[in-house]
Amino acid sequence: METVLIIAAFVIVIVILVFILVQIEKFWSKRRCKAILPRAVDLGFTKTVAEGFSIKEHYPPFIALTPAYLTSDFIIQRQLDGEKQQHIFNIELRSGQGQCEKITFCLIHLPGINLPTFLIKGQDKMRFTMRLIHDVSRSAQTFIYHYHPVPVSTSETFQKHYQLLAPEGRDDFQEIFKPELIQLFETHPEWQVEGMGEWLLFYRRGTLVKPSKFKDFVTESMTIADAFFKAAKQTGASDGDH
C-alpha cells in the first residue's frame, strides 16, 4: 500500500510540474508576441483572425507546412508595393518521439511571377536530436515528393552552407540563381527557403524570432524575396509562361 501511495504521489508531482512548465511556456509566448506586435505595427503589419484559420488550407503545400501546427493566434501580415504580401506566424513541428520544434515562418507572396518549385536546405545551430529528427522527416518528405539535388553553378561558400533541391526537370534554375542572389545567401546564413509559383517561405530551424530581431527577420527575408522576384522577371518566369 505504501509503495502505491509513493508511486501515486510521484505521478501527481510529475503532472503538476508538466502543468507548470506548460503555463510558463504560454506566459513567455504571450509576452513575446505582445512585445513583437508594436514593432510589427510600426512596419505596417496587421493581425489576422486566427479562428478557423488553417495554414494548410490558406497557403501553398510547402514541405515545411505539411507537418506544422499553428502554436498561437500570432498571425500577422502586411501589404507591400505591387500587391506583394508578407505573412509571419509561429508553428510547432511534432515528432513521434515526443519532441517538438517551434519556428517562426515568413511567407511572401509575389504576384506576377512563376517560380519553379524548390527547396534550399541551410545549415543551422539547433541541437543534434532535433536536427536528426527534422532531417529524417524532411528526407522522407523530399523522397515522397521526388525532390533531388539540382546542379547549379554557385560559389564554394554557398555549396558549403546550402543545398538546392527540386522535384522538376526544369533547366532555368541557373538563370534564377544569379551571382547577386547567391551572394545574398552567403551574407545571410542559416536560412531555409522553399519556393513555388508566386510564393516563397523563409525560416530558420529551431528559431522563434525574438522581439529584438524581428525587424532584421522581416527585412532580410524581404530582401532575398525581392532578389528572387527580380531574377524571375529577368528570366521571363512570369505567370502564363509555364
Indicate the average pLDDT of the chain. 80
Strand partners, 74: none
Q: Indicate whether 162 pLDDT > 70.
A: yes
Cα separation, 162 vs 109, whole angstroms: 23
- 22 versus 241: the higher-pLDDT residue is 22
Does the pTM of the predicted model rise above 0.85? no
Helix (H) or strand (E) holding 176: helix 173-176
For residue 98, the model assigns a pLDDT of: 53
Cβ within 8 Å of residue 145, ≥6 positions away:
63, 167
Identify the top-confidence range among 136-140, 181-185, 215-219: 215-219
Angle at 49 between CA 45 and CA 54, to 5 degrees: 105
Q: Indicate whether 139 pLDDT > 80.
A: no
Domains of the chain, by residue range, sit at 44-235
For residue 177, the model assigns a pLDDT of: 86
Residue 79 DSSP label: E
Across the range 177-182, mean pLDDT stands at 86
- 222 versus 74: the higher-pLDDT residue is 222
3-state DSSP assignment of residue 237: coil
Residue 162 DSSP label: E
Identify the top-confidence range among 50-59, 137-146, 212-221: 212-221
Handedness of CA 209, 103, 160, 172 (dihedral sign): negative
For residue 242, the model assigns a pLDDT of: 45
Q: Are the beta carbons of 201 and 142 closer than 8 angstroms?
A: no
Q: Indicate whether 164 pLDDT > 80.
A: yes
Of residues 172, 229, 163, 222, the one with CA closest to residue 192 = 163
Cα separation, 214 vs 27, whole angstroms: 19
pLDDT tens digits for 228-237? 999 888 876 6
Write the Ramachandran bin of 52: left for phi over 0, alpha for psi from -120 to 50, otherwise beta. Answer: left
Angle at 232 between CA 231 and CA 235, to 5 degrees: 85
pLDDT tens digits for 41-100? 999 999 887 676 788 888 898 988 887 777 766 789 999 887 899 999 988 876 555 567
What separation in angstroms does the CA of 72 have from each of 92, 126, 152, 209? 10, 22, 39, 14
Tally the residues of the chain.
242
Q: Indicate whether 166 pLDDT > 70.
A: yes
Joined grid coordinates for residue 80: 507591400
Across the range 155-165, mean pLDDT stands at 83
3-state DSSP assignment of residue 26: helix
Of residues 183, 176, 134, the one with CA closest to residue 158 = 183
